[in-house]
Amino acid sequence: MEPVLVLAHTEAVGSLAKPALEALATALALHGEVTIGLVGAKVQAGAEQVACSGAVRLLGIQGDAFGQARYSTDATAGEALCRASGAAVVIAPATSRWARALPGVAQRLNGRVDTHATAMSIENGVPAVTRWFYRQRMEAVLTRTQRPWIVLVDPGCVAPWSGVAGAATVEMVPVEAPATRTTVLGAEAAQAGEQTIRPDAKLLFVAGAGWTKKQADGAAHAAEAEQVILNFLRASQASLGGSKSLVDVSGEGEAVLRFMTHLNQIGQTGSTPRHAKGLSTCCHGEEPHTVGWRFVHQRRAVNLDANCGWARGKADVLYVADAFAVMREVNRLITR
Ligand SMILES: Cc1cc2nc3c(=O)[nH]c(=O)nc-3n(C[C@H](O)[C@H](O)[C@H](O)COP(=O)(O)OP(=O)(O)OC[C@H]3O[C@@H](n4cnc5c(N)ncnc54)[C@H](O)[C@@H]3O)c2cc1C
């Protein structure tokens, strides 16, 4: 196996987050010589965290300029670490920082980059990347001859490396931060109000447009729907997803679920999150929606329609029932 570099940026506190440890686990499973390259305002704490992982070298680039997410500084650091390590294969977590900077690094090094990898393995003696195509409809395993080969591994695909911390000596790679035109004053969350997207939650709760439709009494009950869903999310700490129809209606400013935005959309033109379980409510289960459920292990749905899309092999369990009644009862049971 060729030498591998794992690229990771440290968090504000100096340690490594879960996606970085997942990239490390992916690299170690290839059984090659692994170097870890750390970037951040400070890297010592992160280095100590992975000191006992079996990596042969720990490289670092640190300084205030490298603590901030910025293409120019992240690409400079990534390039310098790739050159210093001499690695043929570079594995990094697909964080927004690396996803933005590493394709440019591949270009600078005359290498290649692959994104959205879900696994790596050795096929016929060479490293291979597994990834999905056509919005998670086809899975492929591919190899490349060009080097360095940079691979961005999607978070949540492998168990993160875990082990005890230890003493670490980091080889600092001297690099000057490029001149930047922007000054970072602080960070502001993109979403105002209630935080409903929780990638690490065990359960994905999906709300569909049915929550806003006229019900058996001939009236819509959007305000009640909002309350029932919020109560469930607060009690269960589930992550909230939505169908395209529902987030589109919310986006038009209709009085529906005010905490629902396009960021919540699951599906072909939305996201494909990874959760152990999923519960779909008032959502028809059409293919462009359910393709976003590819990585949800156990799928259940509540729909009034026994002939909805979920009934056609898309869900493990379909409850033919009124979601208002079901979720009111679930809330009563989990909050009593
Ligand atoms: C190119 C393309 C890309 C697309 N991408 C996406 C995508 O990324 N994500 C996505 O979601 N969609 C996507 N769509 C749209 C998708 O095909 C569906 O139109 C959409 O998912 C329907 O949303 P829905 O199931 O919430 O609404 P509806 O189809 O209106 O279904 C509402 C459901 O609620 C049920 N219901 C109503 N009241 C109750 C109740 N009290 N209890 C239980 N059930 C109830 C009804 O029986 C019905 O099945 C895409 C479409 C195209 C053409």
- Residue of the CA atom closest to atom 45 of ligand 1: 282
Question: Does residue 255 surpass a pLDDT of 80?
Answer: no
Question: Does residue 81 surpass a pLDDT of 60?
Answer: yes
| Residue 259 confidence (pLDDT) | 84
Q: Of 6, 176, 149, 32, nearest to 91 (Cα)?
A: 6
Question: Does residue 7 surpass a pLDDT of 80?
Answer: yes
Ligand 1 centre and the CA of 176: distance in Å? 52
Ligand 1 centre and the CA of 215: distance in Å? 16
Q: Probe ligand 1: pick from 244, 281, 326, max atoms within 8 Å of CB?
A: 244
| 282 conformational bin, left if phi > 0, alpha if psi -120 to 50, beta if neither | left
Locate tokens 């976003």: which residue?
292
Question: Does residue 243 surpass a pLDDT of 80?
Answer: yes
Average pLDDT for residues 167-178, to the nearest whole number?
97
Ligand 1 centre and the CA of 191: distance in Å? 24
Ligand 1 centre and the CA of 330: distance in Å? 23
| Residue 186 confidence (pLDDT) | 82
Average pLDDT for residues 125-137, to the nearest whole number?
94
- Residue of the CA atom closest to atom 30 of ligand 1: 209
| Residue 193 confidence (pLDDT) | 64
- Residue of the CA atom closest to atom 23 of ligand 1: 245
Ligand 1 centre and the CA of 237: distance in Å? 24
- Residue of the CA atom closest to atom 2 of ligand 1: 288
| Residue 118 confidence (pLDDT) | 96
Q: Quick one: which H or E segment has residue 319?
A: strand 317-320
| Residue 183 confidence (pLDDT) | 81
Question: Which residue ranges form the domains of the chain, and what is each CATH number?
Answer: 4-172 (3.40.50.620), 203-335 (3.40.50.1220)
Ligand 1 centre and the CA of 222: distance in Å? 16
Ligand 1 centre and the CA of 266: distance in Å? 11
pTM, two decimals, is 0.87
| Residue 185 confidence (pLDDT) | 85
Ligand 1 centre and the CA of 334: distance in Å? 27
Task: Label residue 314 by pLDDT band (50, 70, 90).
Answer: very high
| Residue 191 confidence (pLDDT) | 56
Average pLDDT for residues 110-139, to the nearest whole number?
96
Question: Does residue 251 surpass a pLDDT of 80?
Answer: no
Query: 144 is written with which tokens?
Result: 């490349």
Query: Ligand 1 — pocket residues by CB below 6 A?
Result: 208-210, 213, 215, 243-246, 265-270, 282-284, 286, 288-289, 292, 302-305, 308, 322-324
| Residue 336 confidence (pLDDT) | 84
CB 117 within 8 A of CB 129: yes
CA 61, distance to chain mean position in Å, is 25
Question: How far from 335 is each of 164, 202, 226, CA to CA, in Å?
Answer: 37, 18, 17
Q: In angstroms, rounded to a whole number, what is the distance separating the alpha carbons of residues 101 and 24?
A: 19
CA 90, distance to chain mean position in Å, is 19
Average pLDDT for residues 289-300, to the nearest whole number?
96
> Closest ligand 1 atom to the C-alpha of 207?
26
> Closest ligand 1 atom to the C-alpha of 208?
26
Average pLDDT for residues 89-99, to the nearest whole number?
97
> Lowest-confidence range among 47-51, 132-136, 321-325?
132-136
> Lowest-confidence range among 95-104, 120-129, 249-258?
249-258
> Closest ligand 1 atom to the C-alpha of 326?
42
| Residue 192 confidence (pLDDT) | 54
